[in-house]
Chains A and B, each alone.
Chain A
Amino acid sequence: MAKLIFLWLKCLVSCCIVEAVFEDQVGKFDWRQQYVGKIRFSHFDSHVQSSKKVLMATEKNVFAALNTRTGELFWRHVDKTGPEGNIDAFLLHGQDALLVVGNGRLLRSWDISVGGLNWEVVLDSGSFQSACLIGQQDTVKHVAVLKKTVISVHYLSNGHQKWIENLPESENIDYQALYSGGNGEVYVLGIVPHSHIAIVVYSMEDGEIIKQTSVEAPWLSNIQTSCAVVGQGMITCVDSLTMSLYTLDMHTQSKMTQIPLQSLGLEVTPHFHPVLVSHQPNAAHQPLSEFLLQLGPEHHLLLQLNSGQMVVLRDFKPVRHMTPVLTSCVFVSESEHNLQIDILLKGLLHLSLFNAETGRRLLDTTQFLSIDPNVGKPESIYVQAFLKKDDSVSYRVLVQTEDHTLTFIHLPGRVMWTREEALSEVVTMEMVELPLTGTQAELEGEFGKKADGLLSMVLKRLSSQLILLQAWVSHLWKLFYDARKPRSQVKNEISIENLSRDEFNLQKMMVMVTASGKLFGIDSKTGSILWKQYLNNVPSNAAFKLMVQRTTAHFPHPPQCTLLIKDKDTGLATLHVFNPIFGKKSHITPPALTQPILQSLMLPLMDQDYAKVLLLIDDQYKVTAFPSSKNVLQQLQETDLTTTQIWEVIIPTEIQKVVTVKGKRSNEHVHSQGRVMGDRSVLYKYLNPNLLAVVTESTDVHQERSFIGILLIDGVTGRIIHEAVQRKAKGPVHVVHSENWVVYEYWSTKSRRNEFSVIELYEGMELYNSTVFSSLDRPHAPHVLQQSYIFPSAISAMEATLTEKGITSRHLLIGLPSGGILSLPKMFLDPRRPEIVSEQSREENLIPYAPELLIRTEWFINYNQSVSRVRGIHTAPSGLESTCLVVAYGLDIYQTRVYPSKQFDVLKDDYDYMLISSVLFALFFATMISKRLAEVKLLNRAWR
């Protein structure tokens, strides 16, 4: 008996094991793109002369090093999401990068050459204010961190705390800034708004207070925005009300000197808060005595403060009338005292270097660069200046634009690389089929048309075969032509023009919507971005819903996608209608939506132009149809669209709240009506297309009383088909609802583990009405089976595979926090798995029940290509029944194909043509020889 089980398990395993990827398939049909997010702080690695690193700390709590030559990642560290992983400050000193993380909770030092952690220390609680490196006698060995109430100094080498001191009168004074001039003293600047500035000077050695002064400043409300330390410890502030600059020598003076802007011949743009920028190239030295003053959105000045004298070195005012718009000025380089200006001039980026000491423009440093007007304004620039061999200054610039695009530019206006960091935050996506080429369309057309006579049909057949032959010959010719060229020149450039559907419809257009409001069209085969569109009127807290209204199947009508953009606060929505293949905005004007939108839904109905109808329900319960032609209204049999309540299920909100409502995917097909049992009878599936899975979570979060509930509701009648409650469990719940099953995952607070539960619905041994399903006519409640399993990992996203006809067995694709995407066969999540193996269950190929599901690395479809923070997995059917296209998106994007039941409809890619042909030839020759031999034998026998 045991032997039998063993044998049977063996065959079972051998049929399950095939899910893995073969090593030679790496990169054949999959690709990964890694992103970091929008930059918050960035520094160039200037430690080594020939360094190619640019370091960046981003708003996605990622700290990464990029190769400046290629734009690829050297390494990347992904911290926790949310405020606990938030990067507050980034200081770079030599080979050490110091990060303050989680509102001043942690101080980390990274070794930027290998990307490993040097040390990490926990700082005292209290909200973070500022951090700075402290130098002493030309060396920098310490870092100071200023919090609301304390200041602490740490060693750079090991992170140990040198000293920590409470700030005097911290309940009244708001300490905001830190300054160190390299003389062993630490200056802490605090403010009592509209009263005075408090300056506390600490000794770097032991943390003793050397001096404590307070200076009257009734006009000042915030040090960080309007003050800067310039030159030899001069605090310089700007005030827009009194239109003056104020200076104070921290070492000697106790009263601020007022310098009216008018005396310098300057003026502040009305309603603009002036900004001061100073530059301290090295923490061991004093800041430059030159500083930048921004008086208007386009008006920057370079000023110099020399022994109390204020001198305007250069006025970067728009010279020619209104055309050049100065967007930013930054200080660059440590030795050369240079300054970088960039000017946006109608889609043209204009960059040049100026000498900060004189205000003169440096020769040969101006560059023009035309940038796509579609990308928005430059938001921030980071400059790496360096000396060339002939001692002339050159520089590279990293520009971040409003749409989160990073562009790296080398001096003569050459774009080295661009990165679309908006793709680090994909919200939703769709996969759209590519259009047919002219020839393909013609061939297809032959089958569609009505027959008009035998002869013409034959002629048509012949002509289409001729076209095919022609295409084949030209393809051969191209192959031959390419083979003569060196390998490096042959590039299969994919552009929008030569996009066409491939044989098995495996190549599709991925339409991705990102949180920043930028849309992308990506070729699924190579991952290259074919079009991008930045929508600049998208609110920051928008919710998106992307719908394919018309596919490419309705030539000559172009395919059409509609993006619903809804402001989460006001509920007001706009529609963006576009062509998913070219990314162009459609000429169709969507309806103007004046009321907040509650819900949207796509109907399977089509108008005369084959566009599916989109219904939008506003807060007055009025319905807007798009497109709303007469044809549509006729089909809906109504002229004035309104809503009526048909049913309601009350879920008491004080006990539980609805988390997710999951229906089935509209493009899902099920081609097996039932399951064949061991005794050859059929168990029919309950395939209700209107079934909704509603997941609720308890409002009580105590681990003994929390629970999650799952309701299966018929969407047409409101009938509750099934209700299950998981006690001592909590979310987040991941649900997949498909065919006749619902799989959900939750956290069991009792056993502290993740658990999977599967519900399957069956009609029973007989089908009530096999021709058509109606929710209104189903007298028998379905049989419900449920089973739960332990899953040894947390989950970030879950989705089920989807194939063209639904014959192929299903797998669950599970995104794990470790970065793997697990392809778990659905047969492991089958509530009919028996506890005791019987003859019948063996006949049915059921796996005996085991409480724990296994995670096998062979089942990782992305092998070592980890995908960070998977937010969603999108599956789409291909033209092959065996193949399902998978895109996992999060911080990274990963695209691949999966074959849940192996590649049963195409020859495997390791198919041995040599073997089969050699066997055939061998057989052929063997028959020839044996025939000859037989002849000889017959002849001999005849002679005998």
Chain B
Amino acid sequence: MGHLTGLNRFSAAGDGLPTAAARHRATRSRRGFGNIRLTIICALITILVLRGTVGVNRIFPDAAATTAEAELHRLVQEANLLTAKIRSDDDGSDDPPDEKSESNSTYILGPKISGWDGARKTWLHRNPNFPSHVNGEARVLLVTGSPPTPCDNSIGDHYLLKSVKNKIDYYWIHGIQIVYNLAHLDAKLTGYWAKLLLIRRLMLAHPEVEWIWWIDSDAMFTDMAFEIPFQKYNHHNLVLHGYPDLLFDQKSWIALNTGSFLLRNCQWSLDLLDAWAPMGLRGRVRDEAGKILMKNLEGRPAFEADDQSALIYLLITRKDEWMDKIFVENSYYLHGYWVGLVDKYEEMAGKYHPGLGDERWPFGTHFVGCKPCNSYGDYPAEKCLRSMERAFNFADNQVLEFYGFGHRGLLSPKVKSIKNETATPLSTVEKLRRPK
């Protein structure tokens, strides 16, 4: 109240009594002060909010920031911008499928080829230096791949790299050729369907190859010594991991796994691919097919048609046409679902040895659902990363051991020497690679 008293004193300088004008002025001043108070408070709050969002501190940069820090910051910014540009460039969202054509035609992978067995036989006869079997063993081509764009996050690319290294190790030890695909060959057959066209192309271009072995990018070899028993499949053309009772009794959508399978290079396989492909046509066809699959297969969620469900549906509905040439393998882990396997590696290493390929020492560990190339998968990211690192190191140990090294734990990228160096190498008969 002091200010009012002061004002009154001021205005009452003349006769001691406040005049009307003076009173009016006092009221105005009071109101003015009230408004000023309001204004100051609003201004303070605005500054606080601005500082929080825009960062007023950026206008007054810390004078102590070093040039190196600023340079680093600039470089990181540049890299981030570039990363975003690379990821958004050609992000695989190819030209949308032609609505008119898809409604009428069933998709075909290419012109119908008949007589492939005869053509291939003739070619092999004319090219005896490129036989389909070398030293009695079938020529195998391992095929895998990933999208042409960087992953949604950099850790995804790192695990793709490790996964390829893992496959290179296995194929080197076993003398198998490898093709790594990074191209979308057809905009109509994207995602998991892209493998069908790729496999067909490779078969037709390589008549000397007896078996095409498709393997997903999220699958790793964890038994470096295991040999696929190709002799077992002399009368079959498609080998994949699964359970026959789940397939025909329960009609389960996970009765088979198409993450790792063997397909013989023959007419039967070309026909199967042609029968398999139609549900994969991107757009309405794939969506509608997804609904059919959901209705007919046990446990399948609602989403667009995938190659695995489509194959299962094909085999269930046309069992007599295809099943006699298909081997549903479950005596070893041609595909090994990662959950339940990765925690047992130490126990396996303690009790068993490589070469078994089954639950004691799984041939393949397949990280279904992890999707490290995406932003997130169906499992907690940390659990997936930890498990993939363990699987990679578990497999890597089997290679490094030959050189006298091993990882310092299944979660360690570092290695240590486990054997003393010798001045007399080759004195033991160990061999890493099989002769070819």
Instruction: Tell me whether A and B are bound partners.
Output: no
